[in-house]
Amino acid sequence: MTEGKVFISWSLRLLLLLIQVTLFSGCGNYSKLSPVETDTVTYINPVISGFNPDPSVCRVGEDYYLVTSSFEYFPGVPVYHSRDLMNWQQIGYCLDRKDQLNLEGMGLWQGIYAPVIRYYDGLFYMFTTLVGGGGNFYVTTTDPAGPWSDPVWVDEGQFDPSLFFDDDGKVYYTRRGPTGIVQAEIDLKTGKLITPMKEIARGFISRDAEGPHLYKIDGWYYIMIAEGGTRFLHMETMGRSRDPWGPFEPCPFNPVLAQHEGYSNVIRSTGHAELVQAHDRSWWMFFLATRHTWYDGLSNLGRETFLAPVSWKDGWPYVEGKYVLDTDVRVKTLPIKKFESLPKRDDFTSDKLGLKWMHLRNPINHSFTLTEKEGVLRLYGNQYNLSDLNAPAFVGQKQKHISCIATARLSFSPAAPNEESGLTVYLNDRYHYDLAVTRRDGSLCLVVRKTVGDIVAETARVILPENTICLRIRSDERKYYFEYSLDEGGEYKIIDDGLCQLITTELASSFTGTVIAMYASGNGTMNGSPAEFEWFEYSPVAEITENQ
């Protein structure tokens, strides 16, 4: 071959590669090409640990962006970024202003449900539902790290909205309806529906159908639906049609994703999935699932984000059962691109909280500050406590590992028995364990209080000789252990423990998972003095617990 022919050959290959990147960018239409060869590695599920349910993903070139549900926590809808599908780094929140997200008074089964993220023509869209008030809305941005726009409200009633951008310029808004999946064309410049809502599908296996996503692959419109509820019967089904309005032919081997093989398996409740084609043409499915260690089938971490490779079988996407049976998955993957690990300890030297921190609903003005005293997070306890459907002084992060240790150094001088501050393992307003500094019978004390449904009990008490103390909550697969030390770096003493089983999502009927938080409360009045946290450290107990 001559030098000129070699140059032309490589130019054509480059042109074809550029065309493929252009075709495969975005989140709507795909080509069902065979995956190319990549490295075989073992990655760890969940790929995003801690409660991160209802994952939705879009791709822009070789970058991937993922959002999950946030319910009653603020800021709302965390945004994650990846370049290999396995390693994810949080880059922001979609809803970080109260005028975007007002969570006042919202509790169990309310707040933000099931967001979807899409990219089209230079703009990112995040569509979600504020179940406790307002309904379905979307926000936009050119930068997924934010800031995002003010909400554009669309409609009320039901939830799980999704967007599909078709080749002809039409945009379809699909969501759960009263008896099935409904759809309309939408004008995203105004948020107005162009056509009436029409039911296009029902469950292919069950009557419980939600979380729809529409895709166009090789001329077929595929609809993917979450069925069976979000517990042990959860699954993902598929249908296809030549028309985006259906009727949809059901996949002959539905469900395309499920873990119905064993009640005692580590991974359960798989479903609410998103299909994505990677930039190397391989196919993947993101989905929520729960991790378990006990035969009772209870999980305190909540629903997390999992990943599985997708194969094509007779024109249908399919996830092999072996990929949802264990947390270790060995497959061919994209080249690994890890992010720098975040520090385990926060010394509160910044004037802003990091992205891992969350508040319970919208924080009340001056309930926390990082600027009044250098290197200290101050919490000002207000009239609300952890059992109120409101906003106590609360700064927490998701529990990401079954076995972990969370430690904080606190200085606090309560003036009365109603004033308290400390650490909490919080699932919701009716299920939490608290390790708190307060006063009892005129003495400075450390107490453990357990709130399990309608049972509230103070189960341990220790007199403290001083108001500066290191608090520690340690967990394993069975229990939380509540510990303290009077000296930083000193020996920790256990004053009580609590069963993990009693603050689990199944028992509490909760859609979230456990959050370990620093908090303060006046239990009806304002605290007389602030609670000062000098540092907080969270670390897993196991050596290898996640991909990054």
Residue numbers annotated as active site:
54, 210
**Cα(248)–Cα(221) distance, integer angstroms:** 8
Residue 426 to residues 49, 301, 337, 421, 508, Cα–Cα distance (Å):
17, 11, 33, 14, 11
What token pair was written down for 472? 């520690």
How far out from the chain centre does Cα 409 lie?
A: 28
Nearest of 470, 412, 473, 488 to residue 444 by alpha carbon: 412
**Hunting for tokens 């109603």 — which residue is that?**
418
How far out from the chain centre does Cα 36 lie?
A: 30
Nearest of 32, 42, 452, 429 to residue 215 by alpha carbon: 32
- Residue 351, judged by CB atoms within 10 A of its CB (0-12, 13-18, 19+), counts as exposed
- Residue 445, judged by CB atoms within 10 A of its CB (0-12, 13-18, 19+), counts as buried
Q: Other CB atoms closer than 10 Å to residue 372's CB: what's the count?
A: 12
Specify the long-range contacts of residues 154-159, CB closer than 8 Å, at least 24 apart.
154/186, 154/191, 154/193, 155/193, 155/197, 158/182, 159/113, 159/114, 159/129, 159/131, 159/210
Q: Other CB atoms closer than 10 Å to residue 64's CB: what's the count?
A: 23
DSSP notation for 120-155: ETTEEEEEEEETTTTEEEEEEESSTTSPPPPPEEEE
Q: Other CB atoms closer than 10 Å to residue 196's CB: what's the count?
A: 8
Burial 375-387 (b: 16+ CB within 10 A, else e): ebbbbbbbbbbbb
How far out from the chain centre does Cα 110 lie?
A: 15
**Cα(265)–Cα(111) distance, integer angstroms:** 31
Burial 280-291 (b: 16+ CB within 10 A, else e): bebbbbbbbbbb
Nearest of 305, 310, 359 to residue 331 by alpha carbon: 310
Q: Other CB atoms closer than 10 Å to residue 294's CB: what's the count?
A: 13
Q: Whole-angstrom distance between the N-terminal and C-terminal Cα of the chain?
A: 46
What token pair was written down for 540? 């897993």
Residue 411 to residues 62, 213, 263, 523, Cα–Cα distance (Å):
47, 50, 46, 19
